[in-house]
Chain A
Amino acid sequence: MRRIGIVLAILIVSMGCASTRGSIHGVYRDANMDFGQIQNVAVMPFANLSRDSNAAERVRGVFMTMLLASQSIYVVPPGEVSRGISRAGIQTPTAPAADDVIKFASIVKSDAVITGTVQEYGDVRSGTALATVISLQLEMIETHTGKVVWAASSTRGGVTMTDRLFGGGGEPMNVVTEKAVEDLLDKLFGN
């Protein structure tokens, strides 16, 4: 009986460890970077690989508001970002070169630039089951050197067992997007 108890305790402890490791899996964080010095960030327009032509702007809007709402970092307004892109003459704002980032940051006065790619956004079907899904990848570029100091991705939604059994179409797209962004913010702030 005592042996079973010990085995159970070890299992529970190891499961706890496994879940913690899983939450930071898939995150790159520059070990030499002092993230505390980043006060202002500019969020560049996201690249859109999904079928929904408005997905990138929608997700960017949600991300900017939620990043501001975290009260940790100030986000440069989108109009100012557009001005910076135009003044710096950046040809591909979704994937700027290191030189472009440095020039851009001197115009909009930001400490870092965040770029992103919306890989999936919308409905996904598996057999007869239908659900919503989002897959988002972000990178943070430090503006003094133009180096990528943080990168992470998140996927939320998708067809679950409940969707297969009972249908329902999954969670609304807005809710799924907020969950993915929340996950990315957790990864950014190291929670």
Chain B
Amino acid sequence: MTNCSGTRHLSFFFAVALLVAGNFSVRAEEASSSKGYVQNEPLSLSKSSHAAYQEMDQNSLLAVFPLENLSGNAAPTNEIRRQLLDHLKGRGLHILADEVLEGFMVRHRVRYTGGLSREIGQTLRGETGVKGVLIGSIELYQGAYPPKVGLALRLVSTGEKPIICWMDLASRGGNDTPGLLGLGLIRDDLVLLEKVIAKTVKSLDGYLSNSRGKDEKDGSRIPMEGRFRPKKFFRSRFFAASVAERPPQVAVLPFFNDSSRRHAGEIVRLHLLGVLVRQGNSLVLDPGEIRVALLKSRTIMEGGPSLPQGDLLLYMTETDLIFYGSVKEYQEGMGPRGVAEINFSCQILDPKSKRVIWSSISYNKGDGGVFFFDVGRVNTVPAMLSQMIEKLITQIFGPSLKVSVAKSSRDSFAK
């Protein structure tokens, strides 16, 4: 009798422990999934720059470029794009017909779909009336158990400058929320994909309808764990002077990839762009415009931009700050117990003062500081990157300005 009672107590204890573990895992997932990255309206931009923010709404015609596959392996890009289009149309957004977009791309020989240049954007607007282009990148796609999916989506204005108006990065792993007895595990990659796309499109819809405050949490409320901070950093005493005059126009160069993972530099750059857009302390140029500037000036960088190359970028893109860096390690954990790992450095060059004003090293492992029930474990590199770069940008610029401009005030500005 005593033995039976002891067993009952033991099983009760295990049940409670499992419930607690499941609950914690859910919380960890909520913390690790990225939030909607919405460009807050900068405080004192010129009126022409403001135009990009004011004119986008739910009735704007948008084009969806073919997705860029940065996952490093085969991914069903067409299927993902089809699902994305279905979700966008399901929300009542106006999307340019594929035939029209294809015709435009053939006519103008547009082959690079990972970014938008000023020239292509303005031509597209002139010919089709498109106000914004949605550029998507698949940063993670793993079909084998546990499936992992990561998607980055950004809305770039076709106005005077190809400014990123909105950006969202979402990633999930099938084992993010195991829950009680593993009932929360997701084994089908398509189910996971559906969730990631739904979350991203909801965020976009929230931006376009200007109701992000209702269905999205403020980015500042993300539990910011200390372990994701840059491990070593240098912040120049000239930094404040470099960004004092007005919100700086920022160019993020492709990060050098010293890791064995293909496109790791591009992925880190996308996350950096996402957080910069969300923070709203700067005006972020689309990588497509930077690419065109680098190609036109035939710039080949070794280890980062030289001072003359910084001058050239300043002249061609009116860039105030140049972000660059390198990825030393990028490992997606393989299998259910695989550990995600990332190690990268980031520098900022101020081309006007010709000085490096920021330099940092960041590295983390998904299971770093995790001891009990996998509490706080991060299963995908993109989810970890979101938090690391959030910390990095907060360290660089300080906390977000929290400029939340209501639609009415936007309209009054337009008048």
Contacts and interface: CB of A to CB of B under 8 A. Distances in A.
Contacts of A64: 359
A61 B345 contact: yes
Interface in B247-279: 258
A20 interface: no
Interface of B: 231-234, 258, 301-309, 324, 326, 328, 343, 345, 347, 349, 355-356, 359-361, 363
Contacts of B304: 77-79, 82
Contact of B303 (A69, A78, A174): A78
Chain A at the B interface: SS class: helix
A70 to B, nearest CB: 8
A68 B328 contact: no
Contact of B343 (A69, A71, A75, A174): A174
A83 B307 CA distance: 9
30 contacts: A58-B258, A58-B328, A61-B328, A62-B361, A64-B359, A65-B234, A65-B345, A65-B359, A69-B232, A69-B233, A74-B355, A74-B356, A75-B356, A77-B349, A78-B303, A79-B302, A79-B304, A79-B305, A79-B306, A79-B324, A80-B306, A80-B307, A82-B302, A83-B306, A83-B307, A83-B308, A174-B231, A174-B343, A174-B361, A178-B232
Interface of A: 54, 57-58, 61-62, 64-66, 68-69, 71, 74-75, 77-83, 86, 174, 178
A71 B232 CA distance: 12
A164 to B, nearest CB: 24
Contacts of A82: 301-304, 306
Given A57-B326, A178-B232, 6 more contacts: A57-B328, A62-B232, A65-B234, A77-B306, A79-B306, A86-B302
A68 B230 CA distance: 14
Given A62-B361, A77-B356, A80-B307, A54 B234 contact: no
Contacts of A62: 232, 361
Contact of A69 (B258, B324, B349, B359): B359
A57 B258 contact: yes
B193 to A, nearest CB: 33
Nearest to B361: A65
A81 B301 CA distance: 11
Given A79-B304, A82-B302, A174-B363, A71 B234 contact: yes
A174 B231 CA distance: 10
Contacts of A68: 234, 356, 359
A54 B258 contact: yes
A82 B361 CA distance: 21
B40 to A, nearest CB: 29
B211 to A, nearest CB: 42
Contact of A77 (B231, B258, B305, B328): B305
Contacts of B231: 174, 178
B310 to A, nearest CB: 8
Nearest to B259: A54
A67 to B, nearest CB: 9
